[in-house]
Amino acid sequence: MTQVDIQAEVTSPRHVAIIMDGNGRWAQRRGQPRLFGHRAGAKRVREIVRACPDLGVKYLTIFAFSTENWKRSETEVTGLMSLFRRYITKEARALVEEGVRVRFIGDRGRLDKKLIKLMNELEEMTAHNDHVNLTIALNYGGRDELARASQRMAQDIASGALQPDAVDEETITSYLDTSILPDPDLVIRTSGEMRVSNFLLWQSAYAEYDFIDTLWPDFSSEVFADVIARFSGRDRRFGTVKPAAE
């Protein structure tokens, strides 16, 4: 069965990726510090993960912290890191019980040891789950991911484990952080910005995009359901043309 045939049968996106944008503006509009918005955003993550099974979404990938986000103020970066630690600690039990498998993508090298330990533990604790696959991109950048993958590929070529002429699209995919995930069918960005911001560059080659004005802390499961319904009405061609009507 080709990817086109699969899509014709299933209208829900199997893999949804989200650029969660607008936390800062949401907080500013309420006269609050930016971290107030990030905390409200974390609550939405919980709601959106829970909404996935009913919407037919098996894989959810969320952009929590980019390789560029280190340029923000020290207060914001430290606050976000502490929010991630708290999220993992507080949510672990519910995620295990609700059958959510959690994975992290991105470069762990620059993250603090305590956070890395919590991330590893959560991945292990949820390793046998299969109800929903939640992937959290943390210190992630699409170009950085491709550079790290290229380094490992070059090492394997140098050691003779990989032949240069065997490198094809599948090989590159297999060296990425997302190697075992299907490509996203739908990428959503909240807050009205129309940018891809270095998110899943290779993986989103054939994804549909939905840019929505709602700020992330206001992105409820109802808004999510509307976006999914819009996706279901789209005509995905994957570079082919529709067969002519008889």
Distance CA(178)–CA(181), nearest Å, equals: 5
**Shortest-Cβ-distance residue relative to ligand FPP:** 24
Which residue, 134, 83, 82, is CA-closest to 104?
Answer: 134
Is residue 69 part of the annotated active site? The answer reads yes
DSSP assignment, residue 138?
E
Which residue, 135, 156, 137, 133, is CA-closest to 145?
Answer: 137
- Residue 238 Cβ vs ligand FPP, minimum distance, rounded to whole Å: 30
Is residue 107 part of the annotated active site? The answer reads no
Residue 203: other Cβ atoms inside 10 A: 22
Q: Phi first, then psi: what are they for 212, rounded to 5°?
A: -125, 140
- Residue 130 Cβ vs ligand FPP, minimum distance, rounded to whole Å: 20
The residue with tokens 């305590």 is 114
Sequence-separated (6 or more) residues with CB below 8 Å from residue 120 = none
Residue closer to ligand FPP (CB basis): 27 or 207: 27
Tell me which of 5, 69, 144, 218 is the catalytic residue.
69
Q: Between the CA of residue 20 and those of 38, 46, 65, 197, 217, what are the distances in Å?
A: 10, 13, 10, 11, 9
- Neighbouring-strand partners of residue 133: 59, 101
Is residue 236 within 8 A of residue 215, CB to CB? The reply is: no
- Residue 221 Cβ vs ligand FPP, minimum distance, rounded to whole Å: 15
Residue closer to ligand FPP (CB basis): 48 or 149: 48
Residue closer to ligand FPP (CB basis): 47 or 174: 47
CA 77 from chain centre, in angstroms, equals: 19
Residue closer to ligand FPP (CB basis): 7 or 142: 142
- Residue 21 Cβ vs ligand FPP, minimum distance, rounded to whole Å: 5
End-to-end CA distance of the chain: 22
Residue closer to ligand FPP (CB basis): 23 or 203: 23
Chain residues binding ligand FPP by CB under 6 A are 20-25, 34, 38, 41-42, 45, 64, 69, 83-84, 87, 136, 191, 216
- Residue 26 Cβ vs ligand FPP, minimum distance, rounded to whole Å: 7
The residues that are catalytic are 21, 69
